[in-house]
Amino acid sequence: MRLTVGEGEVVALVGPSGAGKTTLLNVLNLSLGLSGGRLELFGQAVGERRRLQRLIGTVYQRFELVPSLRVIHNLNAGRLAEWPAWKAFWSLLYPLGVREARRVLERVGMGEKLFERTDRLSGGQLQRVAIARMLLQDPRLILADEPVASLDPVLGREVLGLLRAIALEGGRGLVVSLHDVGLARGFCDRMVGVKGGEVMFNLPIDAVGDDLLGRLYEV
């Protein structure tokens, strides 16, 4: 089945555990190769991986931040790939890129936490920092693997609202895997149901009925 994600389009990936959601996201961010089928990114067959990887930002359920570092260093970690080694090393002693880091942190509502130790932050704040790090990369495509599964429902909705707003304002595509179908309905334009390693449906959000969801999750 053909799957496309447009600019500024928000797509939910839903399906039972083990269905292949994470696998699909890992294929999309080029950390996993294809065993079959075809992948095009930004209108072209996948060529030079490193250049493309910089255009894809990913956020994860467990945030993937280093707790013992200050927020600024976790943000800069998103740029190590583009910085030469001396700059990356120097930045650990004397943070560079403070202005840009503050700008993305302000965008996620945490401007005052730039020099806070990361392990002092709450779960919702941690995911905001991870989103800010992703923003610093200025990706064209955003992937999010269960980004709210470690958060309570209120924080989860806030984080999804933020991800959606960031996708829309930048004309970026967003593919987000979600456990909670209600959240997918509330924040996404399209829903892709994955089961047993295959795409079972790919529909506008309003076209996904309870019967279809029932079949997606039945064993």
Ligand X SMILES: Nc1ncnc2c1ncn2[C@@H]1O[C@H](COP(=O)(O)OP(=O)(O)O)[C@@H](O)[C@H]1O
Binding ligand X (rule: CB under 6 A), the pick from 5, 10, 11, 21 is: 21
Comparing CB distances to ligand X, the nearer of 75 and 146 is 146
Region of 12-20, 60-68, 127-135, 183-191 interacting with ligand X (CB under 6 A): 12-20
Residue nearest to Mg ion (CB): 22
Residue 197 touching ligand X (CB under 6 A): yes
Beta bridge partners of 74: none
* CA 16 – CA 37 distance, rounded (Å): 22
The Cα–Cα gap between 158 and 128 comes to 10
Nearer to ligand X, 153 or 197 (CB): 197
Q: Which of 6, 18, 153, 204 binds ligand X (CB under 6 A)?
A: 18
Cβ 15 to ligand X shortest distance, Å: 6
Q: How far apart are CA 122 and CA 189, in angstroms?
A: 29
Q: Is the Cβ of residue 121 or residue 216 nearer to ligand X in the bound state?
A: 216
Instruction: Look at residue 197 and give the partner it binds from Mg ion, ligand X, none, a contact being a CB closer than 5 to 8 Å depending on partner kind.
Output: ligand X
22 scored as a contact of ligand X (CB under 6 A): yes
Closest CB to ligand X among residues 19, 41: 19
Closest to 187 (Cα-Cα) out of 202, 166, 171: 166
- Among 1, 2, 17, 44, the residue binding ligand X under the rule CB under 6 A is 17
Residue nearest to ligand X (CB): 20
Can you tell me which of 10, 12, 15, 172 binds ligand X, judged by CB under 6 A?
A: 15
Binding of residue 22 to Mg ion (CB under 5 A): yes
Q: What is d(CA 191, CA 173) in angstroms, rounded to the nearest whole number?
A: 14
Find residue 12's DSSP bridge partners: 176, 191
Least Å from the CB of residue 80 to ligand X: 27
Q: Residues touching ligand X: how many (CB under 6 A)? A: 9
Give residues in contact with ligand X (CB under 6 A): 15, 17-23, 197
Give residues in contact with Mg ion (CB under 5 A): 21-22
